[in-house]
């Protein structure tokens, strides 16, 4: 039986890994290879979900803004 994957959860895992890589080494450090290593997945899987580095960085930025908004609303 095929595994069921929560695609939104997978995207969050990848953007969380990207945030960690960026926090540790800056935007230049956020290569597909570095993010894949941090997330424990293949580069191909990141390409499947995001296509380009630009799309990955945009999704990561939006995740940061969304998390900030949640924290701001709770203050």
Confidence of residue 69 (pLDDT cuts 50, 70, 90): confident
Residue 75 above 60 pLDDT?
Answer: no
- Predicted confidence (pLDDT) per residue in 13-65, tens digit: 999 999 999 999 999 999 999 999 999 999 999 999 999 999 999 999 999 99
More confident residue, 63 or 4: 63
Q: What CA–CA distance (Å, rounded) separates 30 from 37? A: 11
**Integer CA distances (angstroms), 3 to 6, 7, 29, in order:** 10, 12, 32
CATH code, 7-70 = 1.10.10.60
C-alpha dihedral sign at 1, 32, 26, 21: positive
pTM here?
A: 0.87
């Amino acid at each position: 039986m095929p595994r069921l994957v929560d695609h939104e959860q997978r995207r969050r895992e990848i953007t969380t890994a990207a945030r960690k890589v960026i926090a540790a080494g800056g935007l230049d450090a956020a290569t597909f290879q570095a993010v894949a290593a941090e997330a424990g997945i293949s580069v191909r899987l990141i390409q499947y979900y995001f296509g380009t580095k630009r799309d990955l960085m945009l999704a990561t930025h939006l995740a940061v803004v969304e998390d900030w908004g949640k924290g701001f609303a709770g203050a």
